[in-house]
A = this chain, B = another copy of it.
Amino acid sequence: MIVAFQGEPGAYSEAAALKFAPASQTLPCPSFDEVFAAVRDTRATHGILPMENSIGGSIHRNYDLLLEHDLPIVGEVELRVDHCLLALPGTALADVKVVYSHPQALAQVETALRQMTGVEVVAVYDTAGAAKMVREGNRRDAAAVASRRAAEVFGLAILKESIQDFRDNITRFCVVTKPGAPPAEADKTSLVFSLHSKPGALFKALAGFALRDINLTKIESRPLRGKPWEYAFYVDVQAPGTDAGLQRAVADLQDFCHWVRTLGSYRGFKP
Contacts and interface: CB of A to CB of B under 8 A. Distances in A.
The A contact surface, by secondary structure, is mixed
Contacts of A200: 210-211, 213
Interface stretch (A20-28, A67-75, A120-128): A120-128
A120 B121 contact: no
Interface residues of A, number: 52
A255 B10 CA distance: 48
Number of copies of chain A assembled together: 2
A35 to B, nearest CB: 16
A122 B125 contact: no
17 contacts: A56-B60, A102-B107, A103-B123, A104-B104, A114-B125, A121-B122, A122-B122, A197-B215, A197-B217, A198-B215, A199-B210, A199-B214, A202-B216, A202-B219, A203-B209, A218-B221, A220-B220
Interface of A: 52, 54-61, 102-107, 110, 114, 120-125, 166, 168, 170, 197-200, 202-204, 206-207, 209-221, 223, 225-226, 233
